[in-house]
Structure 1
Amino acid sequence: MRPRVVCGIAAAVALFATACGSGGGGGNASVTAQAAPAGGYPVKVADCAGKETVIAKSPARIVTSNAAGLEMLLRLGAGDRVIGTGFPPGKGTLPADLADQGAKVPVLGDKTIPKEKLLGSGADLYVDTFGAMPVMGGGATGPSEEEFAAAGIQHVYLLSTACAGTPKAAKAPRTDLAGIEDDLRRLGAVTGTAARAEELVSGMEQRIGEVRTALAGVPEDKRPGYFVFDFDAGTKQPVAVCGRQVANAVITLAGARNVFADCDADFKTGSWEDVVARNPDWIQLSVRNRGTEEATRKAFDDAEAFLRSFPATKDLKAVQEGHFVRLGSEVTTIAGVRNADAVRQIAAAVHPDLVKNGQ
């Protein structure tokens, strides 16, 4: 991905997590954590290349690269062990029940955590969303594995986002949330909260299963075309959500058809001519939370007003019919538990006769 694209997307989602790191399809053999038979330690976890790290005991001092890992740890009940984060959650980014605790986590870097600060943080575990992505602080600019080891920090990844571009990354479009569920299980095993991880995964699967059952009678050729308009990435050139992005799975599970599912990437800068050619039935107005309900509503209003007035988009089918879905970037393009809620919200919008409640 070209740096300009990364910067555009970062404006929309980097304070929560780097959406640009999304990996391939739903499954990857290396995401499974191998715990001891009794559910204790040691725990073995693998990176994107399959190299294993052995976690001998429950970590006591955890640093997260951004708020994606932070939210997972908060949900797992391990938030009291997080001693720092990079890309801290902005106001309104975390759900209300986690916001106060998340706000208390020390910020080690407004964006990427500086190498020296990370190595000197006193952490015994680093949860990394980025992996080998130099433009977002991974790979070439981050600590080497030897430096992590010398500092006494074990290094684990959210593989659902860190493995894009690696040889083992799946190339097919992502159509399920198995990778996110596996990340929750891996973190649960690593932090000794495996039972809670299974509760979270079961909750996701239940919500998704209800939607799947409701939409069982909808044939593939009746799925409406769906375009995610990343308003925060800019309006000069639209940034398309491609097949390998987690949002493609969210859209698919919601009974819609991502009109850019065929591009083999996570995101891709395109043109308004591309969007017009695919003439989506529905357009998601995707903005980041602005911190207050009023400010966020205005951002949605501004995104809709642009599409209604811009010459290239004002005659699109979705615009003419007012088929807009107001749904934030944080729950759509960022890997997390709330992806399951986004599935239901989109399904309720595009199939209102079948899915009655999007909340």
Structure 2
Amino acid sequence: MGLGALLSVQNAFSYPITIQSCGKPVTITHRPTHAVIHDVNMAEMAFALHLQPFMAGVTGISGWNKRTPAFQKKLGALPEIATHYPTLEQLLNAGTDFFFAGWNYGMHVGGDVTPETLAAQGIPTLVLSESCMRVGQTSGRPTLDLLYDDEERLGQVFDRTAEAQSLVEGWKNRVRAVQSRLVGHHPLRVFLYDSGRDRPFTAGKYALATELIWLGGGQNIFSDLPTNWGSASWENVAVRDPEAILIVDYGSGISESLAFLRSHPLLIENAALKANRILAVRYDEMTPSPANIDAIEKISVFLHPETKP
């Protein structure tokens, strides 16, 4: 039997498959050849499995993030179909046969691009698990299983199950190594500043970022905010008195954000700012992506330098 015939037989046994997406079954009839992936974090999840040959392009990258040389190298010649959220027309024009996005990560509830509107066009959607709380699904504090499960689902969709499982096992080993080094260390209070002037936009109870901070030896001061990402108040930042501050870098550096924090009248006496206990973290490090593991390692050394391997 020739290689082509063998692959056909294997594919015949592999598809169709059914995966779970926000608790709903989604059937994949064939390995996608024109997948569209939204946002830098989900693109990195696809790139980790070398899915570029099966992609039509990406969406929602340059509207918020500056592309790093490393990201651009992985993207190659793949086009950015939409700089922000894609329209249904843009996805159809790209010949999309699979969409990986999330609620408030490429899709809005009630918008023209949803799993339902795409299904009506024969396009299956994998929804980022962290975002499922936007449609009423919460399962308590998020864990890295959100990342692990989504990566493995992506592997199933593209017949890369073994590769995805190997990736996840490697990530778990790295996280276990950090946890062993942090034994006996008290978590420090951490404020994660994304953006916002009138009110700080930050990670809340259902953001994976909250778990990443915890695994790095910290405690998110807004871990009680009942959302994944949302607005808090500067009064609460001051009262909760963070011992360290993480600032999200969208590719332009953090100097503007840091200058704003230093000049805020409610934060004049903050010890973290006075001691310059500030760490820049990339957007893809704080949203579900392979970079989460790097972030945990980086945060742990930042908060507890004595644990550096």
TM-score grouping bracket, smaller chain normalisation: 0.7 to 0.9
Contact 1:71 1:94 in 2 (8 A): no
> Hey, what's the Cα distance between the residues in 2 that align with 1:208 and 1:95?
27
- Which amino acid in structure 2 is aligned with residue 223 of structure 1? P
Contact 1:225 1:280 in 2 (8 A): yes
Q: Paired residue for 2:290, among 302, 325, 337?
A: 337
Match of 2:211 in 1: 249
Match of 1:140 in 2: 110
Q: Which runs of 5+ in 2 are unaligned?
A: 1-9
- Greater fraction strand: 2
Pair 303,91 (structure 1): closer, same or farther in 2 beyond 3 Å: closer
Post-superposition CA distance 1:173-206 (Å, at most 9, x none):
32x2110110000000100111221222122112
Q: Number of paired residues? A: 298
- SS of the counterpart of 2:169? helix
Correspondence 1:317-328 to 2 at 5 A: 317-328=271-282
- SS of the counterpart of 2:84? coil
> Hey, what's the Cα distance between the residues in 2 that align with 1:42 and 1:108?
28
Match of 1:99 in 2: 72
Q: Paired residue for 1:177, among 132, 144, 147?
A: 144
Match of 2:6 in 1: none
C-alpha deviation, 1:242, in angstroms: 1.0
Q: Paired residue for 1:154, among 113, 124, 128?
A: 124
TM-score, with length taken from structure 2? 0.87
Contact 2:58 2:78 in 1 (8 A): yes
Match of 1:164 in 2: 133
TM-score, with length taken from structure 1? 0.76
> Hey, what's the Cα distance between the residues in 2 that align with 1:146 and 1:225?
41
Contact 1:148 1:154 in 2 (8 A): yes
Correspondence 1:29-48 to 2 at 5 A: 40-48=14-22
- SS of the counterpart of 2:192? strand
Contact 1:128 1:157 in 2 (8 A): yes
Pair 41,234 (structure 1): closer, same or farther in 2 beyond 3 Å: same
1:195 aligned to 2:148?
Answer: no
C-alpha deviation, 1:149, in angstroms: 4.2
- SS of the counterpart of 2:110? helix
1:271 aligned to 2:233?
Answer: yes
C-alpha deviation, 1:120, in angstroms: 3.4
C-alpha deviation, 1:351, in angstroms: 0.7
Pair 224,60 (structure 1): closer, same or farther in 2 beyond 3 Å: same
Q: CA RMSD of the aligned region, Å?
A: 2.5
C-alpha deviation, 1:95, in angstroms: 6.8
Greater RCO between the two (CA within 8 Å, min separation 6)? 1
C-alpha deviation, 1:94, in angstroms: 5.1
- SS of the counterpart of 1:353? helix
Correspondence 1:207-222 to 2 at 5 A: 207-218=174-185, 222=186
C-alpha deviation, 1:118, in angstroms: 1.5
C-alpha deviation, 1:208, in angstroms: 0.9
Contact 1:227 1:259 in 2 (8 A): yes
C-alpha deviation, 1:39, in angstroms: 8.7
**Percent identity of paired positions between Structure 1 and Structure 2:** 25
Q: Which runs of 5+ in 1 are unaligned?
A: 1-35, 291-295
1:66 aligned to 2:39?
Answer: yes
Contact 1:240 1:267 in 2 (8 A): yes
Contact 2:192 2:245 in 1 (8 A): yes
